[in-house]
Amino acid sequence: MEAAIAAHGLRKRFGSFDAVQGIDLVVKHGEVLGFLGPNGAGKSTTMRMITGFLAPTAGSVRICGTDMLADPLKAKEHMGYLPEGAPCYPDMTVAEFLGFIGAVRGFSGAERARRVDAAVERTNLQGVYHQPIETLSKGFKRRVGLAQAILHDPPVLIMDEPTDGLDPNQKHQIRELIRTMAKHKAIVLSTHILEEVEAVCTRAVIINRGTIVFDGTPQALDGKAPASVAKNRLDHVFRTLTTADTESRR
């Protein structure tokens, strides 16, 4: 079976600055990839190139076999994307916004209603369904963003900080949803929470200075952060890996 995401030789230059320097990243169906890196590492730039929201300086991206540069609309049909901040139309109610997203995705009538209802149920938005989005808490806005990303049941799901702003119960619900969806999808999630990688991911990738410095299991990643530094474990991992990366460049 062809990989769900196949990115090869991805580079992005802003002026004289190389934000991403030749990244190769392949994600298969059934994988949940935790994508991590310190601030300024090139993580968000890489995700934006994979989703087609930013054109690469060099390299290629294929989503479920479709070339993102050659046929971006078809490639994006296979993808759900929860960007940072989960931008929505604040004056719309949740019902209006998700109905609008359903129409954009090509659904109408009973099929659109069915898909909206399913997304609302999976993200537990029933209690705020008729509220304007601008009146919602950060956590509920995040869940609206997730609902729009999964409404068309895409085989590829890319999420930037999916549990940001959620309370512990909500985080647990979203992680359970990710586990359930992972059986049939390729999922990439950006996070700063090592606990989240351990809880839902089957693989972890860390980038630094635009290159991959770790690609392995969450268990291998956890081994780089002993329990004695539990409070700042991910910071400890970043320091360990980025120091090794810096030494290798000398």
Least confident range from 10-14, 33-37, 93-97, 243-247: namely 243-247
Residue 186's pLDDT band, with cuts at 50, 70 and 90, is very high
Are 32 and 189 spatial neighbours (Cβ–Cβ below 8 Å)?
Answer: yes
The residue written with tokens 């995700």 in the block is: 47
**Model confidence over 121-145: pLDDT tens digits?**
999 999 999 999 999 988 899 899 9
Q: Which tokens go with 190? A: 């950006």
Going from N- to C-terminal start, the domains of the chain cover 1-78+156-233, 87-153
| C-beta separation of 121 from 149 below 8 A | no
Q: pTM for this structure? A: 0.86
CB of 55 within 8 A of CB of 216? no
Strand partners, 244: none
pLDDT tens, 72-131? Answer: 999 999 999 998 776 688 899 999 999 999 999 999 999 999 999 999 999 999 999 999
Identify the pLDDT of residue 234. 59
Report whether pLDDT(16) > 70.
yes
Residue 228: the pLDDT is 47
pLDDT of residue 196: 85
State the chain's mean pLDDT as an integer.
88
Q: What class does CATH assign to 1-78+156-233? A: alpha beta
∠ CA 17-204-189, nearest 5°, is 75
